[in-house]
Amino acid sequence: MGKNKKTHLPNEKYLSLPAHAEAATPIIDTHTHLLSTFSSYKSKYTSGKYETVWDFVRGIYAGRNVKAIVDVWCEAPVQSAWKELADSAITPDGRAENWGGIEYWFVMGVHPHEASVYTDAVEKSILEAMAHPRCVGWGEIGLDYHYDNSPRAIQQQVFTRQLRQAVKLGKPLTIHTREAEEDTERILKQEVPVHHKIHIHCFTDSPEFAQRLLDHFPNLHIGITGVISYLTNVNTSALVRQMVASPGGPRILLETDAPFMIPANIYASLPEVKGRLPLCHTAMIPWVAEFTAGVVGGGWGTAKIMQRANENAQLVYGI
């Protein structure tokens, strides 16, 4: 019998990344799962120095020019912790004390994986959250035919139901779509007004599908994560090149989807690290931008990609 390989866990200190060469551009992470990221940290570093999610944010992001994060709550039933985090960021003093001055925002919805447990009570909880002053959108919601964790018919029903509520409230949409191009496009075009603000999160499907959405919805933007740096993914790079060549330039947003999607190119900045970092976090955004800039070329450096994405975050989420 073969022996299992022992996975080497890098020292916790390496989660505090070196300053990126383009650190002068503020970081806006338009899609992070903060509580999941902190839980992942605590599970990997059981004796870690950060005791609370606020400690983690203030410590890991200190000096990294993180301006704002959009935290994503997409579980059913809704996790009650959302309110404590959101309430702690209502006032400037609260953001200074709890978040180290970082602008904390959030969106809420139910992920397609959990569509089968969407209920009236869940929807009532989401509607309560929509009224919170730090809430900037409804999501992430959509269709996922890769895993099919919920039956497709139920995914479509719940997606439609959430879209109708979000549109009624005028809330920007954070959309998850994977291997469900035809149904996602059909439902969005049926249910969402043309000028509604839409964020297609962590896009990996065909560039042709994305272009149809971009052509139909002028306020739709595409979320780019570290997955753009993975050899298994060619679609995202092709789409970014396509968008850069389009009139008006790339309608992109930068995001981490933390704790997932560590940018593959980050290890060039961490030559002393043995093994792989166990989680992604918001301070990795410059490496997502750096890889994206390398893909498109033509004068689009890391700082320019980040600046454009930040302008787009203002357009979509008002942050």
The C-alpha atoms of residue 310 and residue 192 are separated, in whole angstroms, by 24
176 is in an annotated binding site: yes
Beta pairing partners, 253: 223
Decide: helix, strand or coil at residue 308: helix
The C-alpha atoms of residue 42 and residue 296 are separated, in whole angstroms, by 37
Sequence-distant (6+) residues with CB within 8 A of 227 are 202, 204, 233, 236, 257, 261
Distances (CA, A) of 37 to 56, 140, 206, 258: 10, 16, 28, 6
Amino acid in the structure at residue 60: I
**Among candidate residues 75, 63, 70, 67, the one with its CA nearest the CA of residue 85:** 70
Beta pairing partners, 106: 71, 135
179 is in an annotated binding site: no
Give phi and psi for 255, each to the nearest 5.
-155, 165
215 is in an annotated binding site: no
Q: Are 88 and 94 in contact (CB under 8 A)?
A: yes
43-63 burial, b at 16+ Cβ within 10 Å, e below that, comes to ebbeebebeebbebbbebbee
Sign of CA dihedral 149, 151, 155, 156: positive
The C-alpha atoms of residue 319 and residue 313 are separated, in whole angstroms, by 6
221 is in an annotated binding site: no
Annotated binding site for a divalent metal cation: 140, 176, 201, 257
Point out the annotated binding site: 140, 176, 201, 257
